[in-house]
Amino acid sequence: MRGWNRSYVAKLLKEERLVLSPDGTLVDWAATDALLGVTSDPSKKGVQDRWADHRRDRDVGVELDPAKARANEPRDELADSSPGISGGRYHYWREKREMELALVAERERRKLDNELVDANDMRLATEQLARQVRDRLLALPERVHLQVAFESDPLKVLQMLENEMRDCLKQISTTVIVPARSIH
């Protein structure tokens, strides 16, 4: 009736894009046309138009039956493209794919603008920073043990340890933490 190959009809049936009669032996062409309109790829509209022109040129000698022409008009209940209807699945998944691609592009843009950083890189940088701070603090007793050993006044020992600790923390903040923070 449409001039389609048997394989194309089988493909439409497999994709659930053919509407069959309740007994499953006949095709409801009006409903099928509406369903195909809802489930067709909108990016292929130009191809559809070219083939429609080709078919029209090919079938110039065919007279249309008015009853068949009315039967080919799409019905409104199948024009819905929601995911619940078999035909709306294509548009739903196409929209979902486009949304995911847009999110990926946004994430990449935010990385380039230094709004996002790689979590793995941050973990490594944090571990390196913690190691450097630990090493400097663990080196503190080795630096002050001789000075403290010769001092008998406990208040003076406390003052020496406090000064050395402040110097160590100041050194950490200027040489380890600040440069790491300025790296992008």
Tell me the pLDDT tens digit for each residue of 123-167.
Answer: 998 898 888 888 888 888 888 888 888 888 989 989 988 998 898
Residues 74, 32 contacting (CB under 8 angstroms) = no
Name the residue among 130, 128, 105 with its Cα closest to residue 116. Answer: 105
Report the greatest alpha carbon distance in the chain: 119
Q: Where are the domains of the chain?
A: 6-110, 117-182
Q: SS3 of 20, please?
A: strand
Whether the model pTM is above 0.75? no
Residues 79, 38 contacting (CB under 8 angstroms) = yes
Q: SS3 of 125, please?
A: helix
